[in-house]
Amino acid sequence: MILIFAKGFIGETEITSLVDGKLRTIVLLEEGENVFSVVVYDEAGNRTEKNISIRLDQTPPELIIEKPQSWDKTIRKYIVVTGYTEETAEVTLNGKRLPLIDGLFTLQYECSPGVNALEFIATDKAGNVTKQINPVQYYKDFWVEFTIGQQVATSAMGNMDLGSAVFIQDSNTMVPLAVFTDLLGCTIEFESVFQILTITDPEGIVIQAQIGNNTITVNDEKKQLPTPPVIRNGRTFVPLRFLAEEFGFTVQYIKEKNVVKMEFHED
């Protein structure tokens, strides 16, 4: 005996005929889990019921770019890129899929001279997309000129406000430590009791120095500064030439302009 379909319900919607032997209707979904009761009857009045669950996800995945920030400036060809998204999402950078660990990503990105547009796209399992573009300016041949007694330096990036004027100490040009940390993306830790500075460069150089002390360590190798770091106007100042050469800069004094010029060329 073959029982013939009589009617059915999906939620509160009544269905009186089948399409290709199947119950079909249009239901309104809300964001998140949607549970519907499906009930069918045959001509004999027999009843079958089943619950089905449909999840609607229209929320774009979270995408946070920690480094670089939009319109960051760099004098290095390779920059560090870090960020995170949802654990189940995928992320591409300029069309290339990034390896993720629990939603986190860290990599080095090779810049071209000039403006680089870093396009990040996160896609979740439902196909929702979050897009972010962070432009980065790479100065391949960087230079900066310091004038003694001046707070503003001129550079390939334009004028640089140092926050405090350059000065001479023991015949050495002293500049704010922030000159190097800002240009190279270094991190600084300051131990206030003994006034010890730890400068960590993304390329692997670690420098430790103490305010008022001529001894400095570069990757655990002890060296002597020509004059010690000092704090002036709330800023840490360091001897320009020594730090510059440790980080790969060249330094020269231009007599006709009465300026100290620092340059950085990776190639």
Q: Where are the domains of the chain?
A: 5-56, 63-138, 141-265
CATH fold label, 63-138: Immunoglobulin-like (2.60.40)
Chain-centre distance for alpha carbon 186? 14
Pick the CATH number of 141-265 from 3.40.50.2020, 3.40.50.740, 3.30.457.10, 3.30.420.40: 3.30.457.10
Residue % of the chain over a pLDDT of 90? 73
Q: Using one digit for the tens of pLDDT, what is the confidence trace for 31-74?
A: 999 998 989 888 888 889 999 899 899 999 999 999 999 999 99
- The CB-based long-range contact list for 101-110 (8 Å cut-off, 24+ gap) reads 105/81, 106/80, 106/81, 106/82, 107/80, 107/81, 108/78, 108/79, 108/80, 108/81, 109/78, 109/79, 109/80, 109/81, 110/77, 110/78
Number of residues written out for the chain: 267
Q: Using one digit for the tens of pLDDT, what is the confidence trace for 169-219?
A: 999 999 999 999 889 888 899 999 999 999 998 888 999 999 999 999 999
Average pLDDT in the chain = 92
